[in-house]
Amino acid sequence: MKFIAEAPSKAIITGEHFVVHGAWALASALPRKVRVEVNESDHLRVVSDRLSSSKAPGLRPIEHVVEAMAREFSFDSHLRVSIRSEIPEGAGLGSSAATMVATAAAIARLHSLDLQLPEIIRFATVGESEVHGRPSGIDTAICAIGGAILFKPGCAPKIVSFEGTRSLIITFSGKKRSTKRQIRRVAGVKETFPSLFECLTQAASEVSEMAAVKLTVSDMRGLGMSLSFNHALLSTIGVSNHRLDSLVDLVNSLGAYGAKLTGAGGGGSVVAVAPRGKVKSIVSGLRRRGFETFRAEIPVQGVKSWAAR
């Protein structure tokens, strides 16, 4: 018997980095997923379709999730954890968070643990903290909950509900980035310019709350303006670069209402919104220029798990 869980990827629509320092951020689950299968074994072994060796350092945080759950619920940690991912690593799309969430959910299914989403998120954060150092918690929250949420550390996530679907354009810059390094960079800016940083954090928080309203009422032009303003804030604290700024400019020149980096910055991906009639041509135009790009229809379901023979 195999026990399986799937968790979606994510995009932070507005508020990344500032959310670590107390701002509201808006995030959405994306349709690309991670699938994790677990079954009992004679020792703990984690394998991934993205890594050739089960001894790769990147798999150690997943082992920590298994071990934390085994300690708390007094079961043997000897499991085989198999990971298949549709999410590019280092692209700012929640690859590690989705993996941790799916791992925790699959183990809970294996041991018939009736865990609610906050508990799944808590165990997933064990591994996510090792990957990113000081995560805000938004990635594991959106990968578990799905849909779209407003998130602020210390507050319950606010579900952002809307009728119908919305389209996001996601394009990978082609450069992977280190979230830990970018978080340290932003902490340095805060230490050097505390008053300025406080003002920027407040502005980012207000942009996220405004963006949530625009998403709800399907004002995609207004949402695009929110994205553009947020990208300017992120550029101010040094997490954008020439490659990302040029990609944002390119997406806008192809007809988007607005675009910004999503995730840690320094590389990773760009998220954009556009008139529905232009989404297909923008995606095609970016692909012709060599960028891995896809259209994401939201909302998307959060983590789910099941048993299979």
pLDDT at 52 over 60: no
Distance, in Å, from the CA atom of 265 to the CA atom of 198, rounded to the nearest integer, reads 20
Residues of the chain with CATH 3.30.230.10: 2-160
- Using pLDDT thresholds of 50, 70 and 90, give the confidence band for residue 89: confident
Q: Active site residue: 49, 76, 114, 139, which one?
A: 139
Structure tokens at 266: 């320094």
- At residue 282, the pLDDT reads 98
| CATH superfamily to which 166-298 belongs | GHMP kinase, C-terminal domain (3.30.70.890)
Question: For all residues of the chain together, what is the average pLDDT?
Answer: 92
Quick: pLDDT tens for 244-278.
Answer: 999 999 999 999 999 999 987 777 899 999 999 99
b/e sequence 86-104, b meaning 16+ C-beta within 10 Å: bbbebbbbbbbbbbbbbbb
Active site residue 245: no
Instruction: Name the strand (E) or helix (H) holding 95.
Output: helix 95-110
Distance, in Å, from the CA atom of 178 to the CA atom of 180, rounded to the nearest integer, reads 5
Structure tokens at 291: 């960028």
Fold entry, domain 2-160: Ribosomal Protein S5; domain 2 (3.30.230)
Question: Mean per-residue pLDDT for 178-193?
Answer: 78
pLDDT at 93 over 90: yes
- Using pLDDT thresholds of 50, 70 and 90, give the confidence band for residue 135: confident
User: Residue 33 in contact with residue 7, Cβ under 8 Å?
Assistant: yes
